Amino acid sequence: MSPTVLLVEDEVELVRVLRDYLERAGFRVQTASTGPEAVSQFQHAEPEVVLLDLNLPGMDGLDVARAMRRTSNVPIIMVTARVDEADRLVGLELGADDYVVKPFSPKELVARVRAVLRRAQLAPQAPAVLRAGEVVVDRTRHAVEVSGRRVDLTPSEFALLSALVAEPGRAFTRLQLLEASQGTAYTGYERTIDAHIKNLRAKIEPDPRHPRFVQTVFGVGYRFTDE
């Protein structure tokens, strides 16, 4: 069955264009034009990915994302005219997997949708199960355990942790982590890795303020340690 995309956007013409591109790419499309409608549609449509505009009537897109993240780790791509980096980072800290600024190419957006779906449906690789100290990453089941405790991650967080755990001790630059976790290094987006790392630490670290597993390598980026 074709994956379902929930398109949350109040610009009628943009909805028409994006629906056309997505349907021609093989996706089923459900739409919502307000924040409350988006939350309702999300609960009933159970989409595989959400395209979420931030400037919505009735309920801000960031609040919509918060509501979605309370119950699901489904991939969310935020679509907005806001160009401030702070807005982008807030969205990513809420658990968004990607962030696209208007105006954009509909073809690029379709490519982003395919990319987050690939991460969400990460194919088993060798080894299928990565173990580093108390952290276990099962790529087949898309599951993570830390000290025997199950941890739920978004697709981007899972891909990022997989890349780090696969090579413990290696110092990755932000651009390398972006490439490893998203498949493409979008110029200017490498700082968004910091937001994903912050979210990841909050979920796997005993004390996120003093990271034990995902450590900062000053002047470089990050590394995973199992010591």
Average pLDDT over residues 5-28: 94
Verify that 162 and 215 share a domain, yes or no. yes
Verify that 14 and 62 share a domain, yes or no. yes
pLDDT over threshold 60, residue 163: yes
Location of structure tokens 């194919």:
123
User: The domain spanning residue 203 has which CATH number?
Assistant: 1.10.10.10
The pLDDT score that the predictor gives to residue 86 is 67
The pLDDT score that the predictor gives to residue 124 is 45
Average pLDDT over residues 2-25: 93
Question: Per-residue pLDDT tens for 25-67?
Answer: 999 999 999 999 999 999 888 899 999 998 899 898 889 998 9
158 three-state secondary structure = helix
Amino acid, single-letter form, for residue 87: D
Q: For the chain, what is the mean pLDDT?
A: 85
Verify that 81 and 136 share a domain, yes or no. no
Average pLDDT over residues 71-94: 76
124 three-state secondary structure = coil
Verify that 104 and 169 share a domain, yes or no. no
Instruction: Judge contact between 65 and 96, C-beta under 8 A.
Output: yes
Higher pLDDT, 185 or 72: 72
Higher pLDDT, 84 or 100: 100
Verify that 184 and 90 share a domain, yes or no. no
Verify that 85 and 20 share a domain, yes or no. yes
pLDDT over threshold 50, residue 187: no
Verify that 75 and 148 share a domain, yes or no. no
Q: Which of 71, 87, 120 is the last residue of a domain?
A: 120
pLDDT over threshold 90, residue 2: no
Q: What percent of the chain has pLDDT over 70?
A: 87
Q: Which of 157, 151, 166 is nearest to 203 (CA)?
A: 151
Q: How many domains does the chain have?
A: 2
Verify that 104 and 47 share a domain, yes or no. yes
Q: Which of 68, 90, 120 is the last residue of a domain?
A: 120
Claim: this prediction has a pTM higher than 0.95? no
Verify that 171 and 88 share a domain, yes or no. no
pLDDT over threshold 50, residue 209: yes
pLDDT band at 139 (very low <50, low <70, confident <90, very high): confident
Q: Which of 120, 149, 164 is the last residue of a domain?
A: 120
Average pLDDT over residues 148-153: 92
Which residue segment(s) compose the domain that 64 sits in?
A: 4-120
Q: Is the dihedral of CA 19, 24, 25, 28 positive or negative?
A: positive
The pLDDT score that the predictor gives to residue 35 is 92
Verify that 110 and 137 share a domain, yes or no. no
Amino acid, single-letter form, for residue 135: V
Verify that 108 and 172 share a domain, yes or no. no
Instruction: Judge contact between 32 and 38, C-beta under 8 A.
Output: yes
Verify that 133 and 100 share a domain, yes or no. no
The pLDDT score that the predictor gives to residue 135 is 92
The pLDDT score that the predictor gives to residue 224 is 94
User: The domain spanning residue 66 has which CATH number?
Assistant: 3.40.50.2300
